[in-house]
A and B are shown apart, each in its own frame.
Chain A
Amino acid sequence: MARVVIFGSLRAFTDGAGEMEIEAATTRELLKKLAARHPALAETIEAGVSLAIDGEVFKEAWFTPIGPDSEVVVIPLMVGG
């Protein structure tokens, strides 16, 4: 199961949980399960998030594979200049 890390201020929507285990093969599946588990997070996920999977940042790529031992960090959607 992938280890999911929720960045600081998003913990307000997960009842304080900062880390959790989620069984998911892709980012899309992971985000769906995350939103189901923590409905308050759904709005943020809908608005867009970036995911750092084992250290690489992905901008909303639904079908990015997630390994069974991956670390996934949920961070806000990022933009540049």
Chain B
Amino acid sequence: MSKIHVTTNVNGDSVEFLCEPDEVLLDVLRDRLNLTGAKEGCGTGDCGACSVTIDGRLVASCLVLGAEAEGRVIETVEGIGSAKDLHPLQRHLLEHAALQCGVCTPGIIVAAKALLAENPDPTEEEARYWLAGNLCRCTGYDKIIRAVLSAATEMRGENA
């Protein structure tokens, strides 16, 4: 099989890579671009650990081909906030102790950011339904939902 050449933008930087025609974006990110923040929890679109956005749209990167990244804008957890300047979602997740093992956390952050972009003032129920595709086995979701809602409050400029 001959490889496909792809030019894309990942976390604000333009990136080129070669991939197999049937190689999924998750493997490209992890194996070729060394961005291991997105995790493979299932490989079948059922766990959300591999969540990234393509042109702002939330996707399971295990279900998208690497070749489909051509000409798009990809954002992964590595592109959200930085150690010095955390995104409010990251900060609130930490402050609420909303991660235990933390393997679901990158996916939760990417998915929650996409939620707040679409709906800056979600109800608890809306947040729960939006995040229903992101499995977390450790926390029971309570603290995750609280963290997302309080980050949303802060981002709207209201007092929590």
Q: Do chains A and B touch in the complex (CB under 8 A)?
A: no
B residues with a Cβ closer than 8 A to A are: none
